Structure 1
C-alpha cells in the first residue's frame, strides 16, 4: 500500500487523533477478503499533513489504546495484527510488547504492517518507518469530544469502514448528550465544584483538557482552573490549595485498592466537603485516560457521582 503525503498550508487542529496502528488479519484470512473495501484511494489529514492511502490496509499496527478501541468499535479489528503493550481492550485485541512511547522500527516491521498508527509523541519513528516502506499515520491526542468523533470517522475512512465509523461516532455523541441532558434534568442548576486527581502526587487537569471538558459538559466548576500554573493544563496542586478550595467532589483517575481511603487520611483533608460527605470517587483508570468509544462509560460514572453527591 502506498501513501502519498502533502503538507497543507494551514496548521491542523491540535487534537485530531493519537496513536499507532496495528495490522489486521493475515491476508489469507477469509474475513478480510469478504469485507467491504470502502472507497479508495482516500485522502485524510494526520498530524503532519495531507495523506492519501491507495488501498484498504489489511495489516494494521496500532500503538495507542484509544485508537485500538476505536478500530474494534468500527469493526476494523480483524485488520489489526498487533497493538501496543497498553492496548488491553477489547479482550480480543492483539496486545504485544510493542511500545507506543518509544516505538522500535525493527519490532514493528516484524509484523509486516501495511499501515502503522503513531501518536504525535512518537512522531520521530514515522520517518524511519516510511524509509523502509511502511505507511504511517501520525495522530494527535484528542482534546475535545468533537476530536473523538472526528478520529473515529477518520479511522473509518482509512480502513474502509466509513459507514460503520459514522454510525459509531453518532452513537457515542448521542449517548453522551443523553447522559448529560438527563443528569442536568435531575440536578437542575448546580454549582458543584470538583477536583480531578491524575495521580497520588496531586497532579490535576484543568477545564482546557479533554477530561476537563467532559466534566464541563455537566456544568461543574474545576478548582484546578484557579491554580497558579494552570496554563499547562495539568498543574500539580498543593494540599493546602485543595483544602482551601474545598471541592464538593474528588475524582481519582488511578488504580489502588486503598486510594479513596488514602485521600481521606491526608492531613486536613477531613475538612474537605467531598471527604466529609463521602463524595470521593475512584474512576476506571482506562476510561478516564482514553478518548475512545468508552468515554460513554466515563460520562455515566460522572453522572452517577453527581446524582449521589446531590443526595448526600
Structure 2
C-alpha cells in the first residue's frame, strides 16, 4: 500500500503543473482572462514592444506595428500596420493569444473588432513614471516572465528615486516642452513627460491645458515666457525649428540660450529608456539654473 502511494506521489510530482489562470483589468476597465501565460503576443505600439522585451517576453512577440525599432530584434518581426491604423487581418493571421494595445494611440474600434474575433486584448496607458514600472510587471504577468519583469521594474524605480533625490528639490525652472512645429504642439500636466519634468525640478508652463497633447499658438508661448524650451522632433537630429525661437530675442529661453533637444524615443516612449531622456532633461535644466546664477544682477 505504501509503495503504491509513494509511486502515485512520484507520478504527481513529475506531471506538469496546470497553468494558473490569469485575470487582470486593463486601463479601459476591460477584464482579461487568460488560461495561462500568453505565448503569441502582438504589440500595437512601439513602446509596448519595447516594454515586452524589457519584461523578458521578447521571444513571445510575434507581431508589431511600424516604428517598433527597439531593441534590434524587434525590427525583424512581422508588422501589422501602424498604431493608428492596425491591419486587423494581419493580426488575425499571426494567431495571437494576446494583443497588447495603447489607450491613447489605438482606435477603440480596432480593439473592439479584435475582441469580436475572439482575440484577447489588454490595453495599457502610462500617465506617470511609476506606471512604467507597473507596466513592466503587468506584461510580465501576462507573459509568465514575472521574475525578469519584476527585476526590471525595481531597477527602474531605484533609478527614478535616485534622480528625484538629486534633482527634485532644485530651484524650479519654468519650461515649455515642444512636441512639434507645424502645428505647434505641447503636452499638459497629466502627460508622463510632465512627470519627468517634475522629477527634474521643472514646471510645465502649459500644465493646465485640457488635452494630453494640445495645439497652441506662438503667442501663448511668448506670453508664458518659459525659461527653457525642450523639443524632441522626429529622430536623432536636433530639429531646425528649435532654433526659430531665437527670432524672439525677448523670450527668456532664447535670450539665455536654453533651447534644448532630447531624442523622442528617449522621452516620448513609455519605456525604461524614458529615464535616459529624463536624465538628459535634468542635465539641461541644471544648465538653465547655472546660466541664471551666472547672469549679471
Query: Which of the five TM-score ranges fits, normalised by the shorter chain?
Result: 0.7 to 0.9
**1:143-201 Cα shifts (integer Å, max 9, x gaps):** 122222221111011100112211111111110111221234xxx64131100011013
Partner of 2:117: 132
Aligned pair 1:231/2:180, yes or no?
no
Partner of 1:32: none
Partner of 1:222: 204
Equivalence map 1:18-33=2 (5 Å): none
Give the whole-Å Cα distance in 1 for the aligned partners of 2:41 and 2:270.
20
Aligned pair 1:271/2:250, yes or no?
yes
Partner of 1:149: 133
State TM-score, norm by structure 2. Answer: 0.82
Give the whole-Å Cα distance in 2 for the aligned partners of 1:249 and 1:38.
56
Cα deviation, residue 272, structure 1: 1.8
Contact residue 55 and residue 140 of structure 2 kept, 8 A: yes
Partner of 2:225: 246
Give the whole-Å Cα distance in 2 for the aligned partners of 1:208 and 1:244.
22
User: Which has more helix, going by share of residues?
Assistant: 2
Specify the SS of the correspondent of 1:99: coil
Partner of 2:47: 66
**1:76-125 Cα shifts (integer Å, max 9, x gaps):** 10011111112111111125252222222211122222211122333323
Partner of 1:45: 25
Give the whole-Å Cα distance in 2 for the aligned partners of 1:189 and 1:210.
20
- Corresponding residue to 1:288 among 262, 267, 272: 267
State TM-score, norm by structure 1. Answer: 0.78
Contact residue 80 and residue 88 of structure 2 kept, 8 A: no
**1:270-294 Cα shifts (integer Å, max 9, x gaps):** 2222222221111111222211111
Contact residue 43 and residue 51 of structure 1 kept, 8 A: yes
Give the whole-Å Cα distance in 2 for the aligned partners of 1:179 and 1:83.
32
Contact residue 231 and residue 262 of structure 2 kept, 8 A: yes
Contact residue 87 and residue 95 of structure 1 kept, 8 A: no
Give the whole-Å Cα distance in 2 for the aligned partners of 1:223 and 1:86.
30
Rg (Cα) greater in structure: 2
Give the whole-Å Cα distance in 2 for the aligned partners of 1:263 and 1:294.
23
- Corresponding residue to 1:168 among 147, 152, 159: 152
Give the whole-Å Cα distance in 2 for the aligned partners of 1:178 and 1:194.
22
Gapped runs of 5+ residues in structure 1?
1-36
Contact residue 200 and residue 278 of structure 2 kept, 8 A: no
| RMSD of equivalent CA atoms | 2.4
Give the whole-Å Cα distance in 1 for the aligned partners of 2:224 and 2:101.
39
Give the whole-Å Cα distance in 2 for the aligned partners of 1:252 and 1:143.
19
Which deviates further from its counterpart, 150-159 or 209-218?
209-218
Give the whole-Å Cα distance in 1 for the aligned partners of 2:64 and 2:83.
9
